[in-house]
Amino acid sequence: MSIFCSSLNLHYLCYKELKKMTEQYKFGFLSSIPPVTKNLIIINFLCWLASLVLPKFGIDLIQLFGLHFPTASSFRFYQLFTYMFLHASYSIEHVFFNMFAVFMFGRVLENVWGKQRFLLFYLVTGVGAAVIQELVWFYMIYADATGAGIPLQELLMHPGINNLITIGASGAVFGILLAFGMLFPNAPLFLMFIPIPIKAKYFVIGYGIIELFLGVANFNGDNVAHFAHLGGMLFGFFMIRYWKKKDQDRGLFY
């Protein structure tokens, strides 16, 4: 009887272990992603799907929650925050590559900083990118008004101002890239079509230079908010410098 019971216990323990291993195999990938990173990716994809479906019911999320210029009739203050959760609805590439970067680099930062600091960093760099984009728009409007001899106030209140709109998490993503480069400057990164590794610090510097060049060049047909990307990097840089100075005596900064 005791041998029979022991056999049953052994089989039961084996069954539990196999079940545990199966569950880890099924859910291990998602469970390996820290919560803020995972939720940001999920929210962004849900918003992207909503931007595809809701226009069929007369609801345009991009017009409602995308970033507009402050003098536009469609502008709302909350758009400085909400725009970063929307992406181009005509293709999946925009949201996919942004969220892939969040997955690749964001989870590392969240594991180092913790979820609260990482979330704050993500949101501040995203809002900071929006602020820079608004300043760039103002400069563009001012330059157009000056060049055409039109009063600035007239151009600021023109209905066409509503056509200025920005969406996407790229500002926050560029902040994440900068943070990774600052925290892990010598980490090797492998890029597609480049067979040799590039140190993170050189990758970030090079990417920043490219964005600056493209922003200044302002090529025809280029609708990418390059200066917003740089704005995310700029705000991220100052946040990290502030945290480093604040935490260096407490040993909390890595």
Share of the chain above pLDDT 70, in %: 83
* Residue 199 phi, psi dihedral angles, 5° rounding: -65, 145
C-alpha to C-alpha distance for 70 and 156, rounded to whole angstroms: 9
Look at residue 17 and tell me if it is in a domain.
Answer: yes
Residue 10 and residue 130 in one domain: no
C-alpha to C-alpha distance for 116 and 120, rounded to whole angstroms: 6
* Residue 165 phi, psi dihedral angles, 5° rounding: -150, 140
C-alpha to C-alpha distance for 69 and 134, rounded to whole angstroms: 6
Range of the domain at 213: 34-247
Look at residue 252 and tell me if it is in a domain.
Answer: no
* Residue 189 phi, psi dihedral angles, 5° rounding: -115, 135
Residue 21 and residue 126 in one domain: no
Residue 166 and residue 207 in one domain: yes
| pLDDT tens-digit map of 125-147 | 999 999 999 999 999 999 988 98
106 in Cβ contact with 122 (< 8 Å)? yes
Neighbours of 8 (CB within 10 A): 10
Residue 94 and residue 42 in one domain: yes
* Residue 188 phi, psi dihedral angles, 5° rounding: -80, 135
Look at residue 253 and tell me if it is in a domain.
Answer: no
| pLDDT tens-digit map of 14-52 | 444 434 444 544 455 567 899 999 999 999 999 999 999
Residue 106 and residue 225 in one domain: yes
The mean of the pLDDT values for the chain is 84
pTM for the model stands at: 0.83
